[in-house]
Structure 1
Amino acid sequence: MGGTILRLGAINTWALPRHTGVSWHVASCFRPTQHRGIMMKIRLGLIALALCVLGMGAASAAKLIEPNLYQSQPNEEAGKALLRQAMIQADDGSWERIAVGRVYYLGGMKAEGQAIFDEVLTDDDASDRFRVARVYMEAGEWTRAKPLFDEAIRMEPKEEKWLAEVGAYYLLNGDRETAEALFDRSFKRDTELWATVAAAGAYLGVKPQE
């Protein structure tokens, strides 16, 4: 080609002579129309990415906590204001809403916490039941926790850690027979450290670590 540099991206392949020595097939891969199409796709992709980033930034800004919600406010008012924000942040997450409900419930606002639990428990989810039951145990309400624990392990009978934890609560509340039946079921499933620790602690009067 005598030292001539060809810029293939600018070649009009339909006018390219057959005798140039450049493969007709290779040259056709560099048609200007195809090149423009690829660049357009790249530009559109970058625009979409930029919009996504901007959208995430806007969503993050919408959830910023203003200092005046808690600074110089009485403790109860600051707590309530932050809990309202936490509910917005929780969105539709059941575990997140239970976490908010827990603070309401244990913070002296049981009605508000219970309302959140009641809404979450409308869904048929074992882990939600287990988490709400744990809150009741923190509040010292075994009679409320027990049926939820029983439901959770009925729904998920292979969760060895759950079996041992519930067994521990039974033992701590004076029902050794049921506790040891649950320990047996747990230990037959797997040698799970946390299950063993939960059972051991119950014999020594130590509540399971959540």
Structure 2
Amino acid sequence: MRREFYDLLAEVYEEKYSDTLNRKMRDEEKKLLLRYLKQGNVLDIGCGLGYHSKFLKKNNFNVYSLDISKNMILMGNVQNGIVAEATKLPFKSSFFDNIISIFGALNHANIVLFSKELERVLKDDGRFLITVANALCFKNILRLRVKKKGKIKIRIKGKTYSTNLRYYTPNDLKEVFRNFDIKIGSLYPKSIFLPFLRNFGYYLILYGKKI
């Protein structure tokens, strides 16, 4: 169902995610990518229409773009586009200098299986930067709840489509990625890595290195 959902989302993606807040977050994500990645091969997991892939190509990275949705890759005219799951990466071991997954893909995938694939295909001292939905974001705190599961919905031609969504806490990420050297912050729309404040952004940012 996730694949079908994102095939449909490709048709309205620009309309849904081109508001001022999302544009500000995209600008902040570009700064983070240049700050934390090192030159070399990059795998962009959940590339969507290729926003981050195209930006990295312009900055002289060798980019491979992966998504479960063929429509996303086609409509974004993404080069080196590969249709595959984040938990079954079709690459040899120790191939990538960097792996990114920005704005959504890991809110659906089994993140434990993903972490094992990340460790397999990343080179020693390889970098990764991912964002996931934050269970402790300020909206949930105001509602006095910790939200771990939800849905993302779109409406196309009068019909509503949805797929399941997973939220994470900083402690969830620390447990799953305990074999890596990691740093956790949040994004909404600016990135924050200060203790306490970093917990409440809409997305958690996880930067790490393979050790």
Provide TM-score, normalisation by structure 1: 0.27
| Larger-Rg structure | 1
Larger RCO of the pair (alpha carbons < 8 Å, separation 6+): 2
TM-score (norm 2): 0.27
